[in-house]
Amino acid sequence: MYIVIMGCGRVGSQLAKVLILEGHSVAVIDKNPAAFERLGPTFKGKKVVGIGFDLDVLKEAGIERADAFVSVTNGDNSNIVAARIARNYFRVPKVIARIYDPIREDLYRRLGIQTISSTSWAANKVKDLILHAELVRHLSFGSGEVDLIEGEITPQLAGRRVLDLNVPGEIKVVAIVRMGKAFIPGLGTELQAGDGVQFVVLSSALPKLKRLLHGG
pLDDT in tens, 29-84: 999 999 999 999 999 999 999 998 899 999 999 999 999 999 999 888 888 899 98
Note the pLDDT tens digit of each residue in 104-142. 666 666 666 776 766 555 556 565 555 544 566 767 777
Q: Say if residues 87 and 114 touch (Cβ distance below 8 Å).
A: no
- SS3 assignment, position 7: coil
> For the whole model, what pTM was predicted?
0.60
Alpha carbon distance 151, 125 (integer Å):
15
% of the chain beyond a pLDDT of 70? 82
Check residue 6 and give its pLDDT.
95
- SS3 assignment, position 146: strand
